[in-house]
């Protein structure tokens, strides 16, 4: 019994390690990576999902890990290294320039706000709640992350968004629009949030890049009546890019 338990644990850890190599991993990928039978992998995945360590995205995209796996990181208190590294940098920018910032990472088929400086800013008109899931193709952070993801990741994300049926993901059905969006964001080096009815604020965002691929995105939020997107970009995008570069250098 003890040997079987050890073997099950070993197999489970092998699956976690394999899932950690990609943003999304299919059953076929796991079979190739681990050499385990697909029936065994399904049982292990079901266990990881039921305990909150993994999530099934879709038939085509496969599976991904959740933030819960960071609890296994031997006493490391932050839920994510990027978020931990970013705190001092974001607070410094808000201290010097007053506008609130936030950082988000990918959470399945949306971005998740992980930290913000709203409480440090006198200009916090709206709220970006920690843990809130943010649409990829509407938010500035989502657009920045999506545009600077790898081709493979973007294709998987787009396929997933096209099948959600959510109003916030409808833009994914217009592939020409998505292509123009990617081209614009990559050319500009930053993203602007899409129009949202009755929204008195807007965001500018840049990706946090490691080896040329987005690992997270940071955004600065502005009051529309105080500054235009063009003026905000001219003044603050160099600061955001420098901040993202500093964060990336520490991860």
Mean pLDDT, rounded, for 205-210 = 94
- H/E stretch holding 47 reads helix 38-50
Mean pLDDT, rounded, for 50-79 = 72
Q: What percent of the chain has pLDDT over 70?
A: 90
Mean pLDDT, rounded, for 180-196 = 93
Mean pLDDT, rounded, for 76-104 = 84
Burial of 241 (0-12, 13-18, 19+ CB in 10 A): middle
pLDDT of the residue at 88: 93
- H/E stretch holding 177 reads helix 175-188
Fold of 81-249: Beta-Lactamase (3.30.450)
Residue showing tokens 């088929």: 109
Fold of 2-70: Arc Repressor Mutant, subunit A (1.10.10)
Contacts of 161 (CB under 8 A, 6+ apart): 109, 136, 137, 169, 172
HSE-up of residue 217 (Cα within 13 Å, Cβ side): 34
Structural domain spans, the chain: 2-70, 81-249
- H/E stretch holding 62 reads strand 62-65
Question: DSSP for 114-156?
Answer: EEE-GGG-TT--S---TT-EE-TTTSHHHHHHHHTS-HHHHHH
For Cα atoms 32, 37, 40, give the angle at the middle one, nearest 5 degrees: 120
Q: Is 32 left (phi over 0), alpha (psi -120 to 50) or beta?
A: alpha
pLDDT range class, residue 120, cuts 50, 70, 90: confident
**pLDDT, tens only, 129-175:** 566 788 999 999 999 999 999 888 888 899 889 888 888 899 999 99
Q: What percent of the chain has pLDDT over 90?
A: 47
- Whether residue 71 is predicted with pLDDT greater than 80 in this model: the reply is no
For residue 242, how many other CB atoms are within 10 A of its CB?
A: 13
Mean pLDDT, rounded, for 215-224 = 92
Mean pLDDT, rounded, for 96-122 = 88
């Amino acid at each position: 019994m003890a040997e079987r338990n050890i073997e099950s644990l070993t197999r489970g850890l092998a699956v976690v390690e394999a899932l950690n190599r990609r943003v999304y991993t299919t059953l076929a990928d796991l079979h190739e990576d681990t050499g385990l039978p697909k029936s065994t992998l399904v049982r292990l995945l079901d266990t990881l999902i039921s305990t909150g360590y993994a999530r099934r995205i879709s038939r085509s995209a496969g599976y991904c890990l959740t933030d819960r796996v960071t609890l296994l990181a031997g006493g490391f208190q932050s839920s994510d290294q990027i978020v931990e590294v970013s705190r001092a940098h974001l607070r410094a920018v808000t201290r010097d320039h007053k506008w609130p910032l936030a950082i988000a990472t990918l959470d399945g088929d949306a971005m998740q706000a992980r930290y913000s400086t709203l409480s440090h800013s006198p200009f916090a008109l709206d709220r970006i709640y920690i843990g809130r899931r943010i649409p990829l193709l509407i938010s500035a952070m989502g657009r920045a992350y999506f545009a600077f993801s790898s081709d493979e990741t973007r294709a998987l994300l787009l396929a997933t968004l096209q099948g959600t049926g959510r109003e916030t993901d409808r833009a994914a059905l217009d592939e020409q629009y998505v292509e123009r969006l990617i081209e614009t964001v990559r050319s500009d080096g930053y993203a602007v949030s899409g129009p949202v009815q009755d929204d008195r604020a807007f965001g500018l965002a840049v990706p946090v890049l490691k080896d040329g691929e987005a690992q997270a995105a940071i955004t600065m939020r502005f009051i529309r009546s105080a500054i235009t997107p063009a003026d905000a970009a001219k003044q603050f995008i160099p600061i955001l890019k420098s901040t993202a570069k500093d964060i990336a250098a520490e991860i």
